[in-house]
Structures are given as C-alpha cells and as structure tokens.
C-alpha cells in the first residue's frame, strides 16, 4: 500500500489531503483496503453512497444499461433520461429538470437560470445574488463565487460579480443585502462543509416570504443534505417550504457522477435552446442510475430508516457530547450530523481510521457523520464504541 501511495503522489496533483489508505472494494456499510483491512464507513464517499456498497439490484441495472446504450448526446431523447427526469420532478415538486455531471455544475446552471430569468423579466443583465456566509457550493468559478468561505475564494479572484453575502439564520442580514437588482437568494437548508448548521424554521420560512414579496428567486442547494439524508427526500420538505430552483447530486446517483438542477415551470421557461448545455449530462447510463436510486429508496424504505437510525444516532452523539468536555456542540438531523470540538479533529479522525472507522471533518473542528442511508443501529453502536476510544485518547 505504501508503494501505491508513493507512486500516486508523483502523478496526481496535490489538491487533496488523502488518507494513507488504498481502498479496493466495499460491501454494505464496509470498505476494504488492498491489504484486506475492514473499515466501517460513516462518510459514504462524502454523502454519496446512500445505498451502501455493492447493492445487487443497482449493479445489475447498470450492467444491463452498459450493454444497451451508454451515451448519445443531448441532441437525442432517451428513455432513461425521461424516466429519471420524471422521478426527480415528482420527488422534488419541481416541473423541469436539467442533468449535469456534478453538484458544482448544477449550481452553475442554477445561477445562469436565475440571471436569465431576471433578464427576461427586466431586460437588465445585472442580476445580483445573495449567498450565505460559511456556505459551500462548489469549486468552479461560478459556484465558488457564491461560496461564503474566504479561504476558498480569495486565491481565485476576481470571480463573477454581483454576489453579496448575508449571515445564515439572520433575516435582518439578508434584508440589508436586497436591492432592485437582486435576482436570487441561494442557500443550503443545512450547511454541510461549513460545519453542519441547519437553518432555523423561522429563518427559512421568512426568507421564502421575503423572496415572494420582492420577486426574488429562492435557490436551495440540496447537494449534500438532499436525497433522503434528513429523513425527507429533500431537506426543504421537512421545513414545509418550496424553492423556485433546487440543485442536487451526491446521493442522486449513488456513485455514478450525476447532478441536476430543477425549477418551477415559469422559471425554467427562461432558458431557450442555446442558453445552456452539456455533453455528458443525463446520458442513458447516468440517468439509469438515477432511476434505480429512486426505485431502491422506495423498495428499501430508506426514508423511514433514516428517521429511525438518525434519531438513534442523535441520542448517542448527545451522550458523547455530555461525556467529553472537548465537545462544544452537536448539530444536525437524520443522517447528517456533526460534533464540534474545542480542538482540531484531524488527530481524532486519524486515530479512528487506525481502528477501522472512516470519518470526515467539516472544517477544522467539526466531525461530520454522513454514513450510507442503509445504516442500522448496530452500526451506530460500533461507530460510537470506536469514537469513544479515540476521544478518550484525545482528551
């Protein structure tokens, strides 16, 4: 394994702080490295592998699609793309769908759609966007422009203009940033990379009302907190609020690179042929993965499982929070939760990896818990046992 890592470091760009492990295969909630060591996975490929590893029905459907048709381009229709779009529209309450290859591309498309809608209404090409401090929306230039963390933005400036930042869960801060050119507000119902901060019910409902009163579009980034992770298919559904545009990815394909943005009919109508496009987005292979994910979510009762196991995880993390003084906060819902510490968590995560537990941070002082959505209470118990040992060492 050491040899593989050394060779990889010579040819791959140094853009990731990778764990010193070469993974080989997975089964259910577990991953295995090339030396056969087993790891309990509470990261799910950064909230991607919702169905766990090597789901037989998922794999067989994609194998069949490989033998049928992988790619055609968007100059043609395909049955898998139609089916996937119908399933996503139904699940989200949106009317029209555009498939992308990733979450950051979905955010790029949502930004373009919001500005084109503003232009079609006003004739002015100056639509401004309000985003949230501490937010994370992606690494491309447009998505980076609405990401509210300076360390991600500053090395790549100047980014796209017309973006203002408000404080999350602070309605007055949002109001102060609105002007006659504001075309959209973009926010995560639960901030993920920023440290697992859920929106308050009052804030998210007030922002919706504010948008309605001022003719502003509301964009919800559901890339990490969507696709069942909170116990609802999309986090905003748990708040009883409906956006004008949503973005999603990660669990949408459960490992196959696919994202999407979807919008209400009136908003989507602003896009005309030539306004936006992609070569690979929504090809038959990726679209088949999306359809199978929705099928399996239904047949496996994934949402009910998330509610049950997510509640159990919350109880267990609360117990840990009350046991260790180095833990300063516990936030989240369903199977997207975080523990905040008074110390950097890098060492705790490294110790957990040695003990066969894969965890991930959300910033320097937060451990993020985003396991596959098939997790059971016994997996939570196993994770907690290892975590307690590692926290004892850290304390």
What was the pLDDT predicted at 279? 95
Q: Which run of H or E residues covers position 295?
A: helix 284-299
Is the alpha carbon torsion for 357, 225, 145, 205 positive or negative?
negative
What would the mean pLDDT of 341-355 be, rounded to a whole number?
Answer: 97
Cα angle: 102, vertex 107, 110; to 5 degrees: 125
Question: Reading across the β-sheet that carries 366-369, which strands appear in turn?
Answer: 327-333, 336-341, 366-369, 360-361
Going from N- to C-terminal start, the domains of the chain cover 2-54+301-394, 58-299
pLDDT (tens digit, 9 = 90+) per residue, 111-127? 999 999 999 999 999 99
58-299: in CATH 3.40.640.10: yes
Inform me whether the pLDDT recorded for 333 exceeds 90: yes
What would the mean pLDDT of 182-211 be, rounded to a whole number?
Answer: 97
What was the pLDDT predicted at 220? 98
Inform me whether the pLDDT recorded for 91 exceeds 90: yes
What was the pLDDT predicted at 271? 97
Identify which of 221, 213, 217 has the alpha carbon closest to the alpha carbon of residue 244. Answer: 217
Euclidean distance between CA atoms 275 and 105, whole angstroms: 14
pLDDT (tens digit, 9 = 90+) per residue, 4-51? 999 999 999 999 999 999 999 999 999 999 999 999 999 999 999 999
Euclidean distance between CA atoms 133 and 194, whole angstroms: 9
Cα angle: 177, vertex 182, 187; to 5 degrees: 70
Euclidean distance between CA atoms 271 and 391, whole angstroms: 52
The rounded percent of the chain whose pLDDT value lies above 90 is: 99
What is the rounded average pLDDT for all residues in the chain? 97
**In sequence order, what DSSP letters do the residues of 26-57 get, joined into one string?**
EEBTEEEETT--EEEESSHHHHT-TT-B--HH
Query: Contact at 8 Å (CB) between 291 and 84?
Result: yes
The rounded percent of the chain whose pLDDT value lies above 70 is: 100
Inform me whether the pLDDT recorded for 84 exceeds 90: yes
What was the pLDDT predicted at 395? 81
Identify which of 367, 87, 74 has the alpha carbon closest to the alpha carbon of residue 253. Answer: 87
Tally the residues of the chain: 395
CATH class entry, domain 2-54+301-394: alpha beta
Euclidean distance between CA atoms 233 and 236, whole angstroms: 9
How far lies 389's CA from each of 139, 263, 343, 349, 352, in Å? 35, 46, 17, 12, 9
Query: Contact at 8 Å (CB) between 62 and 54?
Result: no
């Amino acid at each position: 394994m050491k040899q593989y890592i050394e060779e990889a470091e010579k040819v791959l760009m140094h853009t990731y702080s990778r764990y010193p492990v070469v993974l080989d295969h997975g089964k259910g909630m577990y991953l295995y490295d090339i030396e056969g060591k087993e790891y309990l996975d509470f990261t799910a490929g950064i909230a991607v592998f919702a169905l766990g590893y090597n789901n037989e029905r998922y794999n067989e459907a994609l194998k069949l699609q490989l033998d049928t048709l992988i790619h055609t381009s968007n100059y043609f229709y395909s049955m898998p793309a139609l089916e996937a779009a119908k399933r996503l529209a139904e699940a989200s309450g949106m009317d029209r769908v555009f498939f992308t290859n990733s979450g950051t591309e979905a955010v790029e498309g949502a930004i373009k759609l919001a500005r084109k809608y503003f232009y079609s209404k006003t004739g002015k090409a100056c639509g401004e966007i309000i985003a949230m401090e501490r937010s994370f929306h992606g690494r491309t230039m447009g998505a980076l422009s609405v990401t509210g963390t300076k360390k991600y933005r500053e090395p790549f400036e100047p980014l796209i203009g017309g973006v203002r930042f408000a404080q999350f869960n602070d309605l007055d801060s949002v109001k102060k940033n609105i002007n006659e050119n504001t075309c959209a507000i973009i926010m995560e119902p639960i901030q993920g990379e920023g440290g697992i901060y859920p929106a308050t019910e009052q804030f998210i409902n007030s922002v919706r009302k504010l948008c309605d009163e001022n003719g502003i579009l509301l964009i919800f980034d559901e890339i990490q907190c969507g696709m069942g992770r909170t116990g609802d298919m999309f986090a905003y559904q748990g708040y009883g609020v409906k956006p004008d545009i949503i973005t999603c990815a990660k669990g949408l394909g459960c490992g196959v690179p696919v994202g999407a943005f979807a919008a209400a009919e009136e908003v989507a109508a602003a896009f005309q042929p030539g306004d936006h496009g992609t070569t690979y987005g929504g090809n038959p292979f990726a679209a088949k993965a999306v359809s199978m994910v929705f099928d399996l979510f239904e047949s496996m009762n994934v949402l009910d499982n998330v509610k049950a196991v997510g509640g159990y995880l919350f109880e267990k993390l609360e117990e840990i929070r009350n046991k260790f003084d180095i833990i300063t906060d516990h936030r989240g819902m369903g199977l997207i939760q975080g523990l905040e510490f008074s110390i950097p968590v890098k060492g705790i995560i490294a110790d957990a990896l040695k003990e066969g537990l894969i965890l991930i941070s959300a910033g320097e002082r937060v451990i993020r818990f985003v396991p596959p959505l098939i997790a059971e209470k016994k997996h939570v118990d196993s994770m907690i046992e290892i975590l307690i040992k590692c926290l004892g060492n850290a304390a």
